[in-house]
Copies of this chain bind each other. A is one copy, B any other.
Amino acid sequence: MDELRICVVGCGMIAREHIERIQNRIRGARVVAVCDVVPANLEQGAAIAGPGTKQYKDFNEAVNDPDVNAVMVTTPGQFHKSPVLAAIKAGKPVFCEKPLANAASDCREVVEAEMESGKHLVQVGFMRRYDRGYRQVKELLDSGKFGAPMIVKCTHRADGVADSYTTAMAVTDTAIHEIDVLPWLVNDEWDEVQCVMPRRSSKAHEGLQDPQVMILKTKGGIVTVLEVNVNDGFGYDINCEVVCENGVVNLPCPSFPTVRFQNNVSTKIEDNWIMRFIDSYDVEIQDWVDHALKGQTGGSSAWDGYVASITADALVKSQTSGAFEKVQTGGTPDFYQK
């Protein structure tokens, strides 16, 4: 394959970002078709993709269009499974935005289908593995200079969420990023998880427990403490501190000018995740394209997507029980061993 001819299934906000990205900043790929059940979305997606883009309402037709040799799934989470399975069936590489699916059983179904196909076709869109800062931290950790990681402390803070955001979504929508990126960062696997609830912020909408403190232990004994705080009042603020035997490594914050103004020396905090991770998305999609052109996958696999889902389920359970809950994946199949 010397060029990915991509069909984008689902033309919502993130899809439009990706279409623009692929058409303008990615080498070796083109969006040739878009698909959405909502006509307005479909039209917008096609307009961004440019003249000549094919438009589909039915994802099966789209995926199986012979002009299409790769699929990007950007539908809402509950509609990820079917187009991903269709792509696997068609033997076409597929990039699926996170999460792989909302239910762990659906993730498992994808995993089984991919293993059956015998080919690595599915990449899940956890973009943090492509963030420069996380990569710098991983490089330092992997160098061995700091010794073994023992404690990891993270914050996942945002300045407001939609009214539809629920207590469980603090795990499934928000913490899910740390659930995926941290085992990759420290080369370990989740073992058990606990959720501790602080007093509610008066800024949280009715029915939402915010903030939350999540404690995740790995099989290797690393204790991770994650603050999820989506009404923080000041911006999008991702931090990650890794305490090792010989020293401590902190994820860098985005680089902004330092300013002296009105009795403060200050640096800007991002408004939202789009700006914070916009570079990571570029790197991620380019990496997917580069891998797919060679018949490979990069980043998070379908198995990673399944494990994230199982881990999220355990955390949601602990939101009610308050106790440590086990993360039971049944062990990594040979197919997904690295």
Contacts and interface: CB of A to CB of B under 8 A. Distances in A.
B248 A260 contact: yes
B251 A257 contact: yes
B250 A259 contact: yes
A238 B243 CA distance: 14
B255 A252 contact: yes
With a 10 A CB-CB cut-off, give which of A198, A259, A260 has the most chain B CB atoms.
A260
B201 A150 contact: yes
Interface stretch (A113-121, A133-141, A172-180): A133-141
Contact of A260 (B27, B198, B199, B237): B237
Interface stretch (A31-39, A97-105, A221-229): A221-229
B227 A199 contact: no
A211 interface: yes
Number of copies: 4
A247 B233 contact: yes
Contacts of A140: 257, 259
B255 A132 contact: yes
A143 to B, nearest CB: 11
Interface string A235-275: 10100000101111111111111111111111111010000
A287 interface: no
Nearest to A23: B27
A4 to B, nearest CB: 14
A213 interface: yes
Given A26-B27, A147-B202, 15 more contacts: A27-B27, A140-B257, A147-B201, A151-B213, A153-B153, A196-B215, A196-B223, A233-B262, A234-B261, A234-B263, A237-B260, A252-B255, A252-B258, A253-B265, A260-B269
With a 10 A CB-CB cut-off, give which of A215, A234, A254, A324 has the most chain B CB atoms.
A234
A225 B252 CA distance: 22
A247 B223 contact: no
Contacts of A220: 199
> Size band of the A side of the interface?
35 or more
With a 10 A CB-CB cut-off, give which of A137, A145, A153 has the most chain B CB atoms.
A153
Interface in A25-52: 25-27
A322 to B, nearest CB: 8
B247 A260 contact: yes
B263 A264 contact: no
Nearest to A25: B27
Interface string A145-182: 11110110100000100000000000000000000000
A249 B253 contact: no
13 contacts: A26-B27, A146-B259, A148-B202, A153-B225, A159-B263, A196-B223, A198-B223, A235-B263, A249-B260, A250-B257, A253-B265, A263-B268, A266-B267
A20 interface: no
A106 interface: no
A203 interface: yes
Nearest to A204: B245
Contacts of A26: 27
B263 A269 contact: yes
Contacts of A137: 257
B211 A148 contact: no
